[in-house]
Amino acid sequence: MRYFMTTIISKLQFGFYLNIGGMCRTLLFEGEPDHLVPAASEVLIESDLFRVAGRMLAHSFLHDGPRVTGLSPAVIHVLFNGDPETATVVIEDCPYLHIRSIIKLLEHEVLTQGQKDTVSELSMSWDLPAVTKINRRWLYNKLLLHSVIGRTMRQIKQLRKGLKDVMLWPLLTSRPDVVPILFPKTGEMQFTPQMVLEKITWPVEDIDEDFDIESMCRITGFLRMFIENASSDTLAELLTFWVGWAMLPPDLKVEVSGGNFPTSSTCFETLKLPAHFKMYMEFEQALLSAINTVKTGFGLV
């Protein structure tokens, strides 16, 4: 179950391998971190894929699994029945750089005739008036709102239907404080060495009688060193190998065992480390090799 939830949320976050429009990867959410918006693809909309995405998000949440991070606050506002006109939309929410560059032209008080023509061509294609000196600021807000919210309303409605299909909607509407848990910011899902180390239950001598205290201290010391020097992405991969997904459980267990490579019992949240390593570099290489198996079966393979 953890492997499945990790896989589907990874697809939502980083895209599917669907060859649509000549692209090797198809993104459901586009843009910068903390400013992601649903992709404006007619193929994805007509296939109801965003409704499926809503179901995926809800199921992973109900199983206390990983989340999709970095959605635009404006999109989240509208998703939960907020008025689009009151959504706080910023220029970073516009995922298409060529559209963003045209909208940013309206930040200048004086526009050349060529710039006016470029802006007017975009605005009139969206059923908005051509730019004038009087409506420049108003048009800036309207173009920005349409580029972020107007073009994604159908996708947002599908996401909402998906959340309702799994019966998560009543909780989210009655408890608005749960919404940031379902849709966290990118930085809120970053891991630090201290966060991981605080959860670890280290082995003690009387439990692991097959190995002497010197071996246990050496191997657990290697693990501590690895964690203290690891990046947030590496720690996420370590957790995925350790427990089955990149989520911190209440307790992480460590065992010193036999064998040649590190393994894990993800259901019991236990990392099993061989005692034969004498040098840290050998331990680090073996652990990194084991971590790289997470997409094909974690530590059980």
Q: Give per-residue pLDDT as tens, 103-143.
A: 999 999 999 999 999 999 999 999 999 999 999 999 999 99
Query: What Å distances lie between residue 139 and 106, 107, 187, 210, CA to CA?
Result: 8, 10, 33, 74
Q: Kindly calculate the radius of gyration of the chain based on its CA atoms and give it in whole angstroms.
A: 24
Mean pLDDT of all residues in the chain?
91
Is the pLDDT at 259 greater than 90, yes or no? Answer: no
What per-residue confidence (pLDDT) applies to 297?
A: 55
Structure-token pair, residue 199: 């959860």
Quote the crossing angle between the two packed helices 136-148 and 97-104, to the nearest 10°. Answer: 160
What per-residue confidence (pLDDT) applies to 301?
A: 42
Structure-token pair, residue 148: 């972020």
Residues 6+ apart with CB under 8 A from 212: 205
Position with higher pLDDT, 77 vs 206: 77
Is the pLDDT at 300 greater than 80, yes or no? Answer: no
Place 19 in a pLDDT band, splitting at 50, 70 and 90.
low
